């Protein structure tokens, strides 16, 4: 009898402790933040997603970036929240949003995504979400409405927002930046239209009480304002008329990365290039960086540069994508062995 009493007491105290605004670590790679009685944020390896549970039904927005964490999340929803998962919403094709989709499908759970996401997933050999939509779609979870909506290109060309009307909670995904000041990964971005897309999101969901970005701390509508301001300087603009560092005679071949420079210097296992032009093979495109100082790190297959110009050019005709012709301060390009191919992290856009 005493064992039963203490077990009940422990369970009750655990449930009470997990109140609104608090967080709990479910496993080494998975943290849960409670936003309300029915809405939670899941965090894994710095990536955010959501869980909505209503009337015994559950929905996952954006899978964790590993199968292991996705399994842990599904078990937690089923066991701790006593909910049957009826939907998995994929907000963009990047692996940090859909890496666990194959695990979800093996459980027979329906998945939903923008038609653009489904197309890109198929082209890149990734699991394809089962149900697609164009523009806007409404789902009912436990009889309550959930809105999925596409506003335009930003971090990727396909990313969507997820809106919970009665709670005024917005999941903005990777299109919404947290306020750490970094521009972030722009390897598949449309910087020229990013601010315009965010303005549309704010026009529709500016009354949000909580805004959940794809990475980092949660906030309110100020995150939309911050994101808008971050990319507004590049809206509809290129920098093709600005002078940049010219090509130089020194040339180094690192496979997918080609570097030419005025001079170079070797420091340990890394090489530094002065007056550098870096060309990175991006499938049907080239990423071109021109910088006064760039460093190549063979172990991580990455290039760091202090400042300069970054462009993405079509291989077929050499034309520059106007949405990706920017001046920056602080940039790291890293090759990856997955569908993304590379990450292009920018610290700050030059004004």
Looking at the structure, tell me whether residues 195 and 283 fall in a common domain.
no
Structural domain count of the chain:
2
Cα–chain center distance at 230: 16
In a domain, 272, yes or no: yes
> Nearest 5°: phi and psi at 62?
70, 115
Looking at the structure, tell me whether residues 259 and 211 fall in a common domain.
no
User: What is the reported pLDDT for 34?
Assistant: 97
Over 50: is that where the pLDDT of 125 sits?
A: yes
Question: 203, 232, 261 — which closes off a domain?
Answer: 232
Domain range for 301 = 250-349
CB contact set of 6 (below 8 Å; sequence gap of 6+)? none
CB contact set of 334 (below 8 Å; sequence gap of 6+)? 300, 301, 302, 342, 343, 345
Residue 174 to residue 65: CA distance in whole angstroms: 13
Average pLDDT for residues 272-298, to the nearest whole number? 91
**pLDDT, mean over the chain:** 88
pLDDT in tens, 225-263: 999 998 886 665 554 444 444 556 788 899 999 999 999
pTM of the predicted structure, to 2 decimals: 0.84
| The residue to which tokens 């940049």 are assigned | 244
Looking at the structure, tell me whether residues 168 and 299 fall in a common domain.
no
* Angle, CA 111 vertex, CA 107 and CA 113 arms, to 5°: 160
Residue 211 to residue 208: CA distance in whole angstroms: 6
In a domain, 190, yes or no: yes
Looking at the structure, tell me whether residues 227 and 313 fall in a common domain.
no
List for the chain the helix, strand, coil content (%; round to 5): 20, 45, 35
181: left (phi over 0), alpha (psi -120 to 50) or beta: left
Looking at the structure, tell me whether residues 196 and 345 fall in a common domain.
no
pLDDT in tens, 293-341: 999 999 999 999 999 999 888 877 767 776 678 899 999 999 988 888 8
**Residue 139 belongs to domain with CATH number:** 3.60.15.10
């Amino acid at each position: 009898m005493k064992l039963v009493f203490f077990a009940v007491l422990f369970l009750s105290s655990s449930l009470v402790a997990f109140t609104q605004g608090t967080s709990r670590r479910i496993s080494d790679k998975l943290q849960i933040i409670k936003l309300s009685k029915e809405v939670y944020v899941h965090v894994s390896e710095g990536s955010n997603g959501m869980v909505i549970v209503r009337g015994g039904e559950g929905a996952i927005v954006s899978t964790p970036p590993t199968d292991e964490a996705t399994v842990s999340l599904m078990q937690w929803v089923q066991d701790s929240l006593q909910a049957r998962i009826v939907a998995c919403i994929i907000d963009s094709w990047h692996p940090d949003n859909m890496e666990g989709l194959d695990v979800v499908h093996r459980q027979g759970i329906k998945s939903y995504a923008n038609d653009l996401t489904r197309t890109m997933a198929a082209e890149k050999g990734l699991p394809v979400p089962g149900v697609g939509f164009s523009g806007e779609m409404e789902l009912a979870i436990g009889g309550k409405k959930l809105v999925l909506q596409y506003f335009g290109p930003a971090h990727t060309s396909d990313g969507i927002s997820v809106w919970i009307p009665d709670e005024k909670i917005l999941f903005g995904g990777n299109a919404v930046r947290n306020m750490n000041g970094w521009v972030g990964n722009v390897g598949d971005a449309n910087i020229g239209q990013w601010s315009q897309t965010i303005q549309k999101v704010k026009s529709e969901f500016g009354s949000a009480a909580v805004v959940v970005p794809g990475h980092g701390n949660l906030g309110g509508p100020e995150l939309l304002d911050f994101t808008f301001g971050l990319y507004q300087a590049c809206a509809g603009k290129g920098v093709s008329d600005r002078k940049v560092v010219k090509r130089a005679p020194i040339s180094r071949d690192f496979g997918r990365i080609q570097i030419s420079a005025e001079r170079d210097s070797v420091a340990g296992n890394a090489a530094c290039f002065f007056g550098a032009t870096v060309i990175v093979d991006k499938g049907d495109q080239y990423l071109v960086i021109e910088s006064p100082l760039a460093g190549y790190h063979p172990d991580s297959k990455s290039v760091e540069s202090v400042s300069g110009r970054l462009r993405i050019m079509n291989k077929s005709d050499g034309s520059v994508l106007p949405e990706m012709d920017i001046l920056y301060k602080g940039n790291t390009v890293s090759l990856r062995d997955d569908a993304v191919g590379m990450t292009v992290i920018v610290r700050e856009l030059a004004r």
